[in-house]
Structure 1
Amino acid sequence: MSKNSADETPVCCCIDVGSIIDNTDCVASYSHVFATKEQAEETLKALSAKAREVESEPCQISHHITEVTDGVRLDIDFLFCCQAETLIFQLGLR
């Protein structure tokens, strides 16, 4: 067997982490319809706090609260400085 480099592995179904986390997807998005604006604002505050726990550099948070027929829709985009932080944030919400 030859010596392995970072690009090859002797184990089947393995992949270099850099092939998955390449910093091309640093945005986590959230959208939900709430009964009231207060519920939407509470969720915005809670999710923003979770993003602040993960960030190494300031996370850019943009949101829109829109009246819809079923209530109030909250749309949020969290822009992290790297994809790893985005993944950590998303996994923390599960």
Structure 2
Amino acid sequence: MSHTINNCRARETAACCCVDTGIVIDNSDCSARWSALFPDRQAAEAKLAALTEKAQHTASEPCQIASHFISEPDGIRLNAEFTFACQAEALIFQLALR
């Protein structure tokens, strides 16, 4: 059994608990998208400011942020896209929002 535990390949690991990070994080998508509905524009802008601060804190280089406010019958929808220098930063940002 020890010969299967010492190998680093997922198909050879007894518990199958490891993967090559290059399979998961390959820098193909460095963006994180976020959307929510708010009662008014002021609340949406406050949330965008908080998200911007969190994104810039996560980013190693300045994060590019594109945002749109859309009027809906129930309020204002904020759609935002945060583009980071690498996919790992986008993933860290997304996990921090949970």
In structure 1, what is the equivalent of residue 72 of structure 2? Answer: 68
**Deviation for aligned residue 1:51:** 0.1
SS of the residue 1:22 aligns to: coil
List alignment gaps of at least 5 residues for structure 1. none
Residue from 45, 52, 55 that aligns with 1:51? 55
Report the TM-score when normalising by structure 1.
0.88
In structure 1, what is the equivalent of residue 13 of structure 2? Answer: 11
Residue from 78, 89, 94 that aligns with 2:93? 89
List alignment gaps of at least 5 residues for structure 2. none
Q: Distance in 2 between matches of 1:17 and 1:39?
A: 38
Q: Distance in 1 between matches of 2:58 and 2:27?
A: 16
The answer to whether 1:23 aligns with 2:45 is: no
The answer to whether 1:40 aligns with 2:12 is: no
Amino acid at match of 2:60: S
Report the TM-score when normalising by structure 2.
0.85
Percent identical residues: 48
**Deviation for aligned residue 1:66:** 1.3
The runs of at least 4 aligned residues of structure 1 exceeding 3 Å deviation read none
SS of the residue 1:23 aligns to: coil
Which range is displaced more, 9-18 or 47-56? 9-18
More helix by percentage:
2
Q: Distance in 2 between matches of 1:51 and 1:15?
A: 27
**Deviation for aligned residue 1:15:** 1.3
Please provide the CA RMSD for this pair: 1.9
Number of residue pairs matched by the alignment: 92
